[in-house]
Structure 1
């Protein structure tokens, strides 16, 4: 039987050609050290939807194959431009008693496969070629992770790709609601990378592992940075660009600031390089706000809040007001992340230093937040004295102390 198959294959004029093509499709990966790839991996680790912008034919689809292979998860590619809105919103199917049970919306096959696998990567290609009605249907998939009546599992990551409208077939600008749900990354290839790929080796896209020991400090530090920056620059909390093209890219809003917060926290917890973090953050909130935040971040140099809480008497309060605010916010976030009486009382020692330094107004909001974390069985510490009147006025502390 094997001899017969071998003979049949040798007589097939396409068999050798198929074998040749199979060999050409084989490739391996190596560490790339590319901030663009690292930013993509960071956003995937933070479980944020990513949108890759790039000209046709530069390897966006191939990059997704490498990413899925590196994660060991199935890849589902969906060409958004050839689908109808119902392909994402679901098709209605009648049950036994629609009046009592409603009409469920049947999901497409790719969503069912991902739900069955419990994890995976869904790649929405040619997003900028999808008409506005399809983009609107995709909103719920990207934001709520629901396709019809089916909820995608949390380990399913969402990545999309788009060509600039000038080079897309029947291209459209992305609608602002859809654009504001993505981390936007510019996808390019260095000619040397392409040349290396033609030799059979492409850069890998390894998702950085989160260090559990760093998580509490990473979350607290990120909260301090973003909260402190937006307190200093409130005008950047929300800014919708005026022109259609810019509204279809990254711009600051409360939603994208939350994305930036998650990217910073993931970056700190994974030890990702600053350049990759910067690329991802700018991809969330846009060039203007992103560059300002990164400049603020470079000058901030916050102490580790967990180390300070471990020995609150051994630290020096930052001198600049914006650093003080960011630091105290991070301290309260660290206490909230691992709430014990010892850490709560250490937090008051820290805030007491701010009061002693003559800046109780900077610590006022942090004091109210810290007081709200108090277990009713815990006694009121001495460090709270400088804030008693403020806390009573805010209702965070009973009138009797």
Structure 2
């Protein structure tokens, strides 16, 4: 199937959910599938029942048997939705890592909205996710009959969606700047047998150590994204650390030095985007306008993604008019 960006996948997911169609979200590890489901659930004010199906046995879905009045009945499992009024997402994550028996039990729920005597309330929507052929080990084939019970969406990472998420999540500006500078490292599987490699998820972890002491930072980052990417990131951090003071740039936007190195330009643009406020936005734009247009656009867009109120300023309105050829 044709792959779509993770942002587009979220939009498709919403449409399927609105029509009460079970949907299966496919994609490589670490691209944000689970986060996307959680974000859609939050948008719909829905409870999210996150079930890592690979950790379950069939009895975990059906419940344990007991004897009542000489008959065997099945106790309702604790994972079963309890609120029959509030919107609820039943999320079968790691579906293709589950055993065939567990997949079969889950598919009974998908097809019939029930398993045994337990019936899903009408307020429940069903979502599944898996890695499929993008993962090299540990996955199970899903049956044609099972596949036919879902709408399928193949997602892939994209820089714009990740930068939008990173800006609103308060990710360290060094990480945002580096990935913007080296977008091919947003998600890159190693050709070797390395256990660590860059993914959108692992970059979020790298951000936790961006300010770690220089004596240990590279080793910490290597453990998250592998040696090659970590070496590049370390070099970029040193460029970032040698930038002019961001506060000094904001205080004197026309007199502060403008770096010529592309990496330094990405770095200072990301740093200023994080610093932007209603009070200093004009000075930041004044400085960004001294850079090539792509950096001006990058900095203003990132600043406004982080703080949407900036788009309501006269400063932004004038900038948007001046750059309507690239912002419309």
Question: More helix by proportion, 1 or 2?
Answer: 1
